[in-house]
Amino acid sequence: MSRTRVEDDPARTDLESLLGSLGLGIARPLLEQALTHRSFAHEAGGIPTNERLEFLGDAVLGIIVTENLYRAHPDVTEGELARMRAATVSQRPLAGVARTLGLGEFILLGRGELVTRGREKDSILSDTLEAIIGAAYLENGLEPTRAMVERLCAHLLTHAARLSAGLDWKTSLQELAAVHALPAPVYRVEGSGPDHDRTFAAEAVVGRFVGTGTGSSKKIAEHGAAEAAFEMITAAFGSDA
């Protein structure tokens, strides 16, 4: 595939540096396809996008993460393993891995996505990372790709249990409070600012523990407050309690 560029596309072309971060060899045409967002492909005359590679990479990532968690947590139930997997392969943490790689700088995007800061969007970053995983699998097979994924996602795999709690901090906080015979969480939320630019501040009160959070909506603020209270209670009672 030729690397046709649309006007004002600042994507980096030094793909060797990206390969160095990945620690695996991927043929340049395949790597370029993994980096080609559909917005760029459309403007470049309908060249192949990274969507098929993303589809493959999602499946490869799923089996690698599932087996890793299965082996690392022999006493954890199927339901909790499923939550841990879902949290590990969800959009936000994968986007964080992509940012660590500087992946956004290499993605080929159309003008519309460039204008709306597509290189910073969690959805585009996580999808492109999955496409890279798909390309790595095609080029190198499962075991080298497994080693790459486990290295890049080591922090996520190590903290999978905490990430799974983060899928719904309010529910996790309620369950933690019950475990330690604490009162059920009570939320207090206040909003400020004009209607078009509201900011909300929330408190999650669990007995003597008070977590705080802010956000552009009540839901986001309460979510942050619940996470803060969860961390306070975990620190006070110990993570194994």
Residue-wise pLDDT tens digits, 47-67: 999 999 999 999 999 999 999
Q: What is the mean pLDDT of the chain?
A: 89
Q: Is 8 annotated in the active site?
A: no
Q: Is 80 annotated in the active site?
A: no
pTM beyond 0.85:
no
Q: Is the dihedral of CA 5, 11, 17, 20 positive or negative?
A: negative
Question: What would the CATH number be for the domain defined by 168-237?
Answer: 3.30.160.20
**Domain locations along the chain:** 15-158, 168-237
- Give CA–CA dist 225/107, Å, rounded: 35
- Give CA–CA dist 135/54, Å, rounded: 9
Task: Point out the catalytic residue in the list 43, 113, 127, 130.
Answer: 130
Task: Point out the catalytic residue in the list 58, 122, 139, 168.
Answer: 58
pLDDT tens for 181-217 read: 999 999 999 999 888 788 999 999 999 999 999 988 8
pLDDT of residue 6: 42
List, as own/partner pairs, every contact residues 1-5 make where C-beta atoms lie below 8 angstroms and the sequence separation is at least 24, other chains included: 1/29, 1/32, 1/33, 1/36, 1/47, 1/48, 2/47, 3/32, 3/108, 4/44, 4/45, 4/47, 5/108
| Percentage with pLDDT > 90 across the chain | 62
Work out the average pLDDT over 133-154: 97
- Give CA–CA dist 189/132, Å, rounded: 42
pLDDT of residue 2: 42
Fold of 15-158: Ribonuclease iii, N-terminal Endonuclease Domain; Chain A (1.10.1520)
